[in-house]
Structure 1
Amino acid sequence: MEDFPRFTAAAVQAAPVYLDTAATVAKAVALIGEAASNGASLIAFPEVFVPGYPYWNWTMNPVQGSPWYERLYRCAIDIPGPHLDALRAAAAATKTTVVIGVNERSRHSLGLIYNSVVTIGPDGSVLNVHRKLVPTWAEKLTWGGGDGSTVRVLDSAVGPLGALACGENTNTLARFSLLAQGELVHVASYISLPVAPADYDMAQAIAVRSAAHAFEGKLFSVVACSTITDEMIEIAAGDDPEIAKAMRRPNSALSGIFGPDGNPVVEPLIDEEGIVYAEIDLARCIQPKQMHDIIGAYNRFDVFQLHHDTTPRRPVVFGSRGPVAEEPVAPGPVIGPWPGDGDAVRAG
């Protein structure tokens, strides 16, 4: 392409209105309006911003945490559904590309929740619904895993756009697949993680991973992380003062924007709520590729090869496995034509 997009990106660092879906969506809509009024064309939100992260998985045993799991399931959103419609309307009204993390409720299995990243175009269309491939550690108590059909680079208004959730940004093969699809703008969504081991600096871990992907891919990485509130601490810590103290420790959240040299384009925001803005010029991705283009001249595809299975994984596929008809039969309509809809099946 001759013209490379130049635009303002916004990384939102904020807490949801915890376990209140309608209020959190309203907060997201307001933040979209605020970021757009400051010139942002791309607005990135944290992991599972709607309506929050299951911190109790890290501080309670599974039996203690199970009632909270049910509450989160009841608060999760349907795709398609009215809460997503409100976000789509906000993106369309502001003509912005919005990437936001949600708890997505499965349509085929009562109690199944996905950690999903939804990308919405400036016309309000849903471009992709990416379900986190592997929930990290204690997260397996809450979320099911996605499939490779949603690990995609989108031809978006801000350029070739990809997104991964939190620990997926440590998955070298997932990141490489996005790079090999031509990714130039990457959105990485995170949650504040003060419940990790005492020697784990979440802010540093986010910065390291974000800088690495930006430097390796010679691209821009927009990083959005949530923050901790007293309500989250009260729920997860209960009457345990040590857990409450741990959940208030600093350097647990970082949001920012990293350039193709791996350096921050703007000073990252740590722990506090706010929006980080930066100007992105995709032409800056060209010259660094001359040195290290790991999806081009700086690789040996006769030596290394990645296979990415993009088959949607569904609980049941209806159709005949009988003899092939003499005349081709057109497939039935897709039920639920939503990007990343692993629940969809073809009608008979």
Structure 2
Amino acid sequence: MIEFPAFRAAAVQAAPVFLDTPATIDKARALIATAAAEGAELIAFPEVFVSAYPYWNWTMNPVEGGRWFERIYRSAIDVPGPEVDVLCEAARAAGAHIVIGANERDPNSTGTLYNSVLTIGSDGTLLGVHRKLMPTWAEKLTWGRGDGSSIRVHETSIGRLGALACGENTNPLARFALLAQGEQVHVANYIALPVAPHDYDMVEAIKLRAAAHSFEGKVFTVVACSAITDEIVERVAHDDDSRELLRRKHCAFSGVFGPDGRLITSPLVDNEGIVYADIDLAASISAKQMHDVVGHYNRFDVFQLLLDTTPANGLIKTGDVASSRGAESFTSDSPVSAVLPS
């Protein structure tokens, strides 16, 4: 039977220790302990909190910014890996569910990174790793694309928990795929975006997307956004124009939205901090009587969404290498399928 627990959620708005993974992991551990001491059973961290967002993609041309790729690659983590183990232990010690963004290295390539979101259970179990499906705009210079295998909702003691990274929360199909799996609590993690076009207000954009998902799905949305520090500005800025751009205000927002789409916390804008909300999942029941887009308020004979959960794999081995014919066959589903003759 579906459960409707009540619990406290924490949205962390903080900056990583830029490109310093051990120091950022230590900072995450301290923030987890702080939030847990306030009774938080869900602690959400920003996008790629471990341990850098590639701001240089927005302020330099690809040749100028290329030298930064090795730096972010070296600071990225393996999943599973020792940094994940530390975060899992921190979650277990705190008795809290953790959702945190990280740069993840592709296990088979030294040239591909993923913008990943790790979901960790309160017992310290790594529940899932979601790779951002489509890097946004300039982000394509740094990250590869995820696949549908990680568009998943996790059954937890605080309800059915889903997560998407930054611009994915603009994708109605990705959001619906989570709602259709019974999502009750949604984590949307973002980066502070001072480098957006001058007429783009990141704070209002985040609020609009979070309110829409909560209102449409009748779910709680926990928004956790990063912050910009002087350290990041001085490391990434290469001239006065880029320095001024990176110091732009009103570029980060964190908070929690209820199933009616309303903000239920004080807004946290730009500065580092933690906001808390007491969540009662039963509040979604009466709201869904009016609009249940994954149930009675839809027409699945008219509309259907196909979610392909097949993991992307560039190499599929077939055949028996130990066979008497001594042949090994390979197929590849991307970009070309081929079988070597025996």
Q: TM-score band, normalised by the shorter chain?
A: over 0.9
SS of 2:53 mapped into structure 1: coil
Aligned to 1:309: 308
Aligned to 2:71: 71
Aligned to 1:101: 101
SS of 2:318 mapped into structure 1: coil
Q: For residues 235 and 58 of structure 2, what CA distance do their matches in structure 1 show? A: 12
Aligned to 2:324: none
Aligned to 1:230: 230
Q: For residues 111 and 229 of structure 1, what CA distance do their matches in structure 2 show? A: 28
SS of 1:177 mapped into structure 2: helix
Q: For residues 114 and 247 of structure 1, what CA distance do their matches in structure 2 show? A: 23
Using the TM superposition, give the Cα deviation of residue 43 of structure 1 relative to its aligned residue in structure 2, in angstroms.
Answer: 0.3
Using the TM superposition, give the Cα deviation of residue 2 of structure 1 relative to its aligned residue in structure 2, in angstroms.
Answer: 6.2
- Residues 136-186 of structure 1 show CA distances to partners (whole Å, capped at 9, x for unaligned) of 000000000000000000101210000000000001100000000000100
Q: Give the gaps of 5 or more residues in structure 1.
A: 322-348
SS of 1:143 mapped into structure 2: coil
Q: For residues 13 and 264 of structure 1, what CA distance do their matches in structure 2 show? A: 16
Q: For residues 206 and 23 of structure 1, what CA distance do their matches in structure 2 show? A: 28
CA gap 1:275/1:84 in 2 versus in 1, 3 angstroms: same
1:1-348 paired onto structure 2 within 5 Å: 1=1, 3-238=3-238, 240-320=239-319
Aligned amino acid, residue 51 of structure 1? S
Using the TM superposition, give the Cα deviation of residue 316 of structure 1 relative to its aligned residue in structure 2, in angstroms.
Answer: 1.2
Q: For residues 236 and 29 of structure 1, what CA distance do their matches in structure 2 show? A: 26
- Residues 86-139 of structure 1 show CA distances to partners (whole Å, capped at 9, x for unaligned) of 101100111110000000011101121000000000111110000000000000
CA gap 1:2/1:22 in 2 versus in 1, 3 angstroms: closer
Using the TM superposition, give the Cα deviation of residue 235 of structure 1 relative to its aligned residue in structure 2, in angstroms.
Answer: 2.8
- Deviates most, 240-249 or 125-134: 240-249
Cα pair 2:185 2:221 within 8 Å, conserved: yes
Cα pair 1:60 1:236 within 8 Å, conserved: no
Aligned to 1:343: none
Q: For residues 157 and 275 of structure 1, what CA distance do their matches in structure 2 show? A: 22
- Residues 169-211 of structure 1 show CA distances to partners (whole Å, capped at 9, x for unaligned) of 0011000000000001000000000000011110110000000
SS of 1:58 mapped into structure 2: helix
Using the TM superposition, give the Cα deviation of residue 236 of structure 1 relative to its aligned residue in structure 2, in angstroms.
Answer: 2.6
SS of 1:312 mapped into structure 2: coil
SS of 2:114 mapped into structure 1: strand
Using the TM superposition, give the Cα deviation of residue 315 of structure 1 relative to its aligned residue in structure 2, in angstroms.
Answer: 1.8
Q: For residues 313 and 60 of structure 1, what CA distance do their matches in structure 2 show? A: 31
- TM-score, normalised by the number of residues in structure 2: 0.92
Aligned to 1:334: none
Q: Give the gaps of 5 or more residues in structure 2.
A: 321-342
Using the TM superposition, give the Cα deviation of residue 320 of structure 1 relative to its aligned residue in structure 2, in angstroms.
Answer: 3.1
Q: For residues 36 and 111 of structure 1, what CA distance do their matches in structure 2 show? A: 37
What is the RMSD of the two structures over their aligned residues, measured on CA atoms?
1.0
Aligned amino acid, residue 120 of structure 2? I
Aligned amino acid, residue 108 of structure 1? N
Aligned amino acid, residue 302 of structure 2? V
